[in-house]
Amino acid sequence: MVVRGRSREGCRRPVGSCWNAVFRWYLVFLVVACIFAGGPASAASRTVKLYFNGTLLNPAVAPYVDPTGRTMVPIRIIMESMKAQVDWIGGEQKVRIQHGGKVLEMWIGNKTARLNGRTLVMDTAPVLHQGTTMVPVRVIAENFGAQVDWEASSSSVRIWMPEPTSVQQVRVRGSYVNIRSGPSTAYDPPLL
């Protein structure tokens, strides 16, 4: 019962003001809960940008950071950017990658992989996420000769893969081979 703007329970404030106080405490609770809910769950929800040789890739399933702190990326878009062949063997839940004379096999949910018959132990296992095979980016990129950089400030993974040397960049002169590398690979004979 309300008498002269006071509630029946004896709140000394007007009726609407009691509910405002409850609402304010509820908001404070939500803000505190969001702050302390950080950690692995918030790391997994953070948006990760994926670059290959400076080009931003836009996979159908976004990369993410798993609870162990490893960046998981869709395998097909990375390996096809590296011009590798990717095969999915559904019966075994296995991914087989072939590139540059190397064969890497990985199984969903298994921290063990095989590179050219040699066993590799990873600290996180490949997973199926939204129907896409997600793998730890360093394992696949570094085993195929790429460099991986993580930029924490922008939550970006940058994969750098050197271009293969073309036949035009190698020139045989007499009994020695002159192979150029660096910023310029053009062959410029010295002026004598």
Same domain, yes or no, for 129 and 53? Answer: yes
Q: Which domain holds residue 98?
A: 42-160
**Are 26 and 121 contained in the same domain?**
no
Q: Do 46 and 19 reside in the same domain of the chain?
A: no
Flag whether 188 is in a domain. Answer: no
Model pLDDT for residues 79-129, shown as the tens digit of each residue = 888 889 999 999 999 999 999 889 999 999 999 999 999 999 999 999 999
Helix (H, G, I), strand (E, B) or coil at 50: strand
Q: Following DSSP, what letter does each residue of 8-41 receive, concatenated?
A: TT--SS-HHHHHHHHHHHHHHHHHHHHHHT-SHH
Answer yes or no: do 29 and 52 share one domain: no
Query: Contact at 8 Å (CB) between 44 and 64?
Result: yes
| CATH number, position 88 | 3.30.457.10
What domain count does the chain have? 2
111 Cβ partners below 8 Å, 6+ apart? 121, 122, 123, 124, 125
The pTM (predicted TM-score) of the whole model is 0.61
Is residue 123 in some structural domain? yes
Tokens 């004379």 belong to 101
84 and 124 co-located in one domain: yes
Whether 69 and 153 share a structural domain: yes
Would you say residue 150 lies in a domain?
Answer: yes
Q: For the segment 22-34, what is each residue's pLDDT rounded down to a tens digit?
A: 667 666 666 555 5
21 & 48 share domain? no
Q: State whether 28 and 72 are in the same domain.
A: no
Q: Which two tokens stand for residue 4?
A: 């002269």
pLDDT in tens, 128-142: 999 999 999 998 888
Determine, yes or no, domain membership for 179: no
Q: Which residues contact 131 (CB under 8 A, 6 or more apart)?
A: 61
In the three-class reduction of DSSP (H, G, I as helix; E, B as strand; rest coil), residue 79 is classed as helix
Q: Are 13 and 5 in contact (CB under 8 A)?
A: no
Same domain, 48 and 27: no
